Structure 1
Amino acid sequence: MIPAQVGTHDSAHRSRPVRVLHFSDTYLPRRDGIVTSVRTLMSSLAAAGHPSMLVVPRHPKQENEPGVLQLGSMPCGVAGLRLTWPRSRHVAQLAEWKPDLVHVHTPGPMGLLGLFVARSLNLPIVHTYHTDLHAYADAYRIPAVGLRTMMRLYARRLGTPTPEIEEDAERRGALIDGINQLLLSDADAIIAPTAAILDRAKLTTHSDRLFVAPAGINLPRTAPKAAEELRAAWDIPADAPVALFVGRINREKGIGLLAPAFAEVVEKLPSARLVLIGAVYERRWLTKLLAEHGITDNTVILGQQPPDVVAAGYAAAQVFAFPSMTDTQGLVLQEAALAGRPSVLCDPALHASGPLGDDAVLAENTPEGFGAALLRLLADPAAAERLGEAARSRVQSLTPDRYAEAMRQIYEHALR
């Protein structure tokens, strides 16, 4: 299967406005790549004359926002996510907005609601496969019985036969393939942010319905002294070499590799600091991990921060550490590049098909290999700066406007 690559056209070729109904199980105050991608897309679509409405689970700390419909929800106990079960009244409520198309961004109950709405209103369905479900199920140790229950509930809600799972199949992976079959079989277009996910997921569909379209983002501008002020606020010495990680500070993001890798760095460069920005869901595990590898005093945990503080973090760092093996695109790689910071990653599939290509360092997926790659850049600021500038030049074309235009082309395909 060869996925279709999406090009761009001049705005003069744009057709009538398309009213897009988006569905996501994750949204503010939680911050992740899906939230960033959806918010960027909706803003750029609106600027191009294509209205959007986003349907999300309600969160107690979430503010009211135009164009965002919050439905009653409850916490599910995994990484701050919340659940909403699709109901028939939601269909009538959303039909009043007169959407032309449904765009599903997540595979949870909100994604199921999007599929249910599309079927009920006879609308085209576009599905972006943002998340490597197989890797996440393993990282969070989701029991097979839970996945089987989810698959059966989805099938019942959609009025579809439950997919048959082969007896000798790996249970967890086969069940996720079954859930994907339920969610994706009706899709008029399936979008992969990069081809990396195609190496790990069975997206069974016709090639003319499969598209590769990386998201485009912007990075907030930083004040001239933003880096200096962030270092001062978090007691990071002005001359300390800094490696930065941005994302959920959790198992599935490779923190279990990053900690011993940075211990290798500290052994040869004791002044180095590791800065972690993102939500922490297993504080006790993280504290123990840092202590086991002797890097507690060399690690600064900022927690989840607003975009301007994240941008200051990039400005304060010399290198960006990306130890994840579960990302389908890694928008933080683009953010780091826009800030002129080089990245070290260990996922060969993402390195081959991701936004940075050879303008990022591919390290071995071992503490020794990853640590050595970080150390080379931290110890050679000039080399780090050259690689960072090359990465910045490479991602300049991945703008939000081009992303929205690529999406518009896919929407037109689905509408046809």
Structure 2
Amino acid sequence: MKIALFTDTFAPEVNGVAHTLKRWVDFLESHQVAYRVFAPETRTEDVSTNCIYHFKSFRFFLYPECRLAIPNTMTIREQLEQFQPTLIHIATPFNIGLCGLHYAKKMNIPFVASYHTHFDQYLHYYNLDFLSPWLWRYMHWFHRSAEKIFVPSEETLNELQQRGFTNLHIWSRGVDCTIFYPKEDNRSFRQAYGITEPYIVLYVGRLAREKNVDLLIQLAKQMPSSIRWMIVGDGPLKAQLQQIAPSNVTFTGFLRGDALAEAYAAADVFAFPSPTETFGNVVLESFASGTPVVCANRGGVTTIVKEQQTGLLCPPHDLNTWRAAIEYMLKNEEKRKQMGKAAREYAETKDWNSIFTELLSHYEQVMHKRESRYA
């Protein structure tokens, strides 16, 4: 098996898609499966290697984590001819993905695709709803020749089925429970950020319109000052949110590794108001840390969060419901602990190794189907 992966976002970019794809490549390497990655250059020191090829790029305005690359088609063709992949996986529908689609067809290589992002929902937040019909036509055209289309959740699968997509399969997400786990002592985290309030409510993610983070700032203004609101992440709205946030809101910027794990474990509640998720990796990380969640009752998170068992689900923009849900969580310590325990138990079932093993079996099915077709 030889896999060529085409993606418009990859490590070291900080987002769920890049994180998942980097883990997938590490899995392929550990299982001695040959691969090549074609991805945008994300910083000046990015250097192409024998397995990963970078191309100059610029950020896509709707989704800065995805980059519009200027791929060198000669280089891609040469590498594919040398490598002779048995399968192409196209992870994103932009420039790099288009190159993957072109060469899959031109070289008669079977390909699969994955759908990670509800771009049509993003359009609403940028007053571009009129583009939605054209976007869906493009997405249909882009994916129609794929042997399989992988989606991260039941919600996303149902959404695409209703829009006429076929050959859909769930490629779920996992979490490393050795990195994210409950910790009884959060004093070091509190000292690091000067937290004296009795409660911590945490958000982790991009600071952008489609994430609905401004709802948390509104809540911070209305709710008691006994809560410290921790906003972890970066994005185009950061400066604006900082200007309007009250003094009990702390913006940490991006956190990684142990620092991020410590933030999850130190929080009493994880608040995630984004209504546009296809899965919600950060929710699973919070679960692994034993921290229950309050989430928007929309998108992929609805297939993860069990109401009153691992968290609470609220209408995305209903400020009163959100306030009541967070107050309920903070006032009911025993219930909060029960939810945190159940959340951790659920996270322990989401093992990356078994998830990737299943994806590899999907690859094998596609290859066997192609072989039998030409036998």
> What TM-score, normalized to structure 1?
0.80
Equivalent in 7, 14, 17 of residue 34 of structure 1: 17
How many positions carry a matched residue from both structures?
361
CA distance in 2, matches of 1:213, 1:33: 13
Cα deviation for residue 76 of structure 1 reads 4.2
Cα distance 1:75–1:322, how it changes in 2: closer, same or farther (>3 A)? closer
CA distance in 2, matches of 1:277, 1:102: 35
Matching residue of 1:392: 344
2:205 corresponds to 1:247: yes
Q: 5+ unaligned residues in a row in structure 1: which ranges?
A: 1-17, 144-169, 291-295
Does the CA-based 8 Å contact 1:29-1:61 persist in structure 2? no
Does the CA-based 8 Å contact 2:12-2:18 persist in structure 1? no
2:42 corresponds to 1:83: no
Cα distance 1:396–1:225, how it changes in 2: closer, same or farther (>3 A)? closer
2:215 corresponds to 1:272: no
AA paired with 2:303?
A: S
Superposed CA offset, 1:201-253 (max 9, x none):
455333xx21122111215257979843232222222x531111111011111
Equivalent in 20, 24, 28 of residue 3 of structure 2: 20
CA distance in 2, matches of 1:236, 1:120: 58
Matching residue of 1:204: 164
CA distance in 1, matches of 2:171, 2:324: 33
2:308 corresponds to 1:322: no
Cα distance 1:61–1:389, how it changes in 2: closer, same or farther (>3 A)? farther
Cα deviation for residue 70 of structure 1 reads 0.9
Cα deviation for residue 73 of structure 1 reads 1.9
Matching residue of 2:249: 299
Matching residue of 1:52: 35
Q: 5+ unaligned residues in a row in structure 2: which ranges?
A: 370-375
Matching residue of 1:372: 324
Does the CA-based 8 Å contact 2:57-2:67 persist in structure 1? yes
**Secondary structure in 1 matching 2:18:** helix
2:66 corresponds to 1:108: no
**Secondary structure in 2 matching 1:345:** strand
**Greater alpha carbon shift after TM alignment, 29-38 vs 45-54:** 45-54
**Secondary structure in 1 matching 2:344:** helix
Equivalent in 339, 345, 362 of residue 410 of structure 1: 362
Equivalent in 235, 238, 245 of residue 283 of structure 1: 238
AA paired with 1:320?
A: F
Equivalent in 170, 177, 190 of residue 136 of structure 2: 177
AA paired with 1:276?
A: I
CA distance in 1, matches of 2:171, 2:354: 10
CA distance in 1, matches of 2:163, 2:350: 25
Report which structure shows greater RCO (CA 8 Å, sep ≥6). 1
Equivalent in 217, 238, 249 of residue 259 of structure 1: 217
CA distance in 2, matches of 1:83, 1:109: 6
- Residue identity (%): 24
AA paired with 1:190?
A: I
AA paired with 2:92?
A: T
**Secondary structure in 1 matching 2:343:** helix
Cα distance 1:52–1:289, how it changes in 2: closer, same or farther (>3 A)? farther
Matching residue of 1:73: 57
> What TM-score, normalized to structure 2?
0.88
Does the CA-based 8 Å contact 2:175-2:347 persist in structure 1? no
CA distance in 2, matches of 1:37, 1:20: 16
Matching residue of 1:216: 174
Does the CA-based 8 Å contact 1:127-1:189 persist in structure 2? yes
Does the CA-based 8 Å contact 2:180-2:288 persist in structure 1? no
Cα deviation for residue 288 of structure 1 reads 4.2
